[in-house]
Amino acid sequence: MNSASATTERSARSRAGPWNAGEEDRPVLSVHELKKYFRLSGGLFGAARGYVQAVDGVSFSVSKGETLGVVGESGCGKSTTARLLIRLIKPDQGRILLDGQDVDGPNGISVRALRHQVQMVFQDSYASLNPRHTAAEEVSFGLSAQGVARAEARNRAKQVLDFVGLDPGVFADRYPHELSGGQRQRVNIARALAINPRVLILDEAVSSLDKSVEAQVLNLLIDIKNRLGLTYVFISHDLNVVQFVSDRVLVMYLGKVVEIGPVEKVYRSAGHPYTRALIASRLSMNPRRRIAAPPVMGDLPSPINPPSGCRFRTRCPIAEPVCAENEPLLAAVGDDSLHVAACHAMAPRSGHSLAPVPMSRTASASGA
């Protein structure tokens, strides 16, 4: 695709709203106010010593056929969110909806049914594949566990292995320690594809690979998505990779969503100070234009006792007293409802000195 058609195609796909969509444009997957706190045990008999607020009120939706990138640094809760999406972890609060139906709720669909449609590709490590299973056994395990006959499951496994670029004649009977990193990752992808899902959640799927292998696997993922019409949720800490594959991007910080929007818009003109700092922390490929000062100093605050109000205020260059009192909600950046950020400086009437003055109707009509 050349750049012009790619951009129009991307914006066409992302026309569905961030979280509330109309009837015909119903998002495939949407989550509302997901919360997950992890108990820190300690003390006598494992009494709770505190809670790690890993995911604290996260809401977003994913439209059919799009790639939603999720970025954030360690401790932001993106991996926990991924596992909540596929219900490997049970949320403490909040709802997950698949095609508008509540997962594991009354009158909704079961977790089992969710897993038929939503699958996860893990980060490559030796622990992502059973060291005692061959590639074919690993890929066919899900199928045979669901009652498919052994021979048929194996055939399907071989088909999928071929589809991801591994010659089944050579690789079907190989063990993980006989595979390179890129090959193991292809087996990971094959395992997720074996049961024909509609949505793939990729949790740092290329993070541990060499750059050239990463490029091969990224190409493969894009090709698969186009051929099978899948929807991706792509989680990564690598801003460049997310920019490359995503249509929309979601930025997380300490368990909260701080920004959502079309990828080019967010990267070019981010609304949230954290996003701006994150984008500015990207290393340039130009040795003559080196970064002179770090965009943000210091470390993450503790997730057990996050700062009150806005969680980023301890490191934010434009923090004001109102940021400690009230938690900012996602508000439109500029007048684009598809691009939202949780910052008082973006929200009219928030009390922040940089907040936009709400325009009256006459002012907007005169083309301000």
Q: Does 13 bind another protein (CB under 8 A)?
A: no
- Tell me the residue type at 34: L
Find the shortest distance in angstroms from Cβ 129 to another protein: 5
> Is 222 among the residues that bind another protein (CB under 8 A)?
yes
β-bridge partners, 121 = 202
Q: What phi, psi does 173 have (nearest 5°)?
A: -110, 25
Contact between 271 and 346 under an 8 Å Cβ cutoff? The reply is yes
Is the Cβ of residue 135 or residue 355 nearer to another protein in the bound state? 135
State the DSSP H helix or E strand holding residue 253, giving kind and residue range, or none if neither: strand 248-253
Lookup result for tokens 């509330």:
20
User: Smallest gap, in angstroms, from Cβ of residue 191 to another protein?
Assistant: 6
Q: Which lies closer to another protein via its Cβ, residue 61 or residue 236?
A: 236
- C-beta closer to another protein: residue 23 or 299: 299
47 contributes a contact to another protein by CB under 8 A: no
Which residue of 146, 305, 308, 364 would you call a contact of another protein, by CB under 8 A? 146
Site for another protein in 303-342 (CB under 8 A): none
> Cα–Cα distance between 365 and 206 in angstroms, integer?
48
Of 96-104, 132-140, 316-324, 344-352: span binding another protein (CB under 8 A): 132-140
CB of 206 to another protein, least distance (A): 9
Dist. CA 206–CA 227, nearest whole Å: 20
Residues 177-216 that bind another protein (CB under 8 A): 177-178, 180, 182-183, 186, 188, 191-192, 194-195, 210-216
Q: Which of residues 263-292 bind another protein (CB under 8 A)?
A: 263-264, 277-278, 281-288, 290-292
Backbone angles phi and psi of 125, in degrees to 5? -160, 170
Question: 295: helix, coil or strand?
Answer: coil
Does residue number 296 form part of the binding site for another protein (CB under 8 A)?
A: yes
Q: Is 353 exposed, middle or buried (0-12, 13-18, 19+ CB in 10 A)?
A: exposed
The minimum distance between CB 278 and another protein, in angstroms, equals 6
Report the C-alpha gap between 157 and 139 in whole angstroms. 6
Residue 95 interacts with another protein (CB under 8 A): yes or no: no
d(CA 101, CA 104): 9
Site for another protein in 231-250 (CB under 8 A): 237-241, 243-244
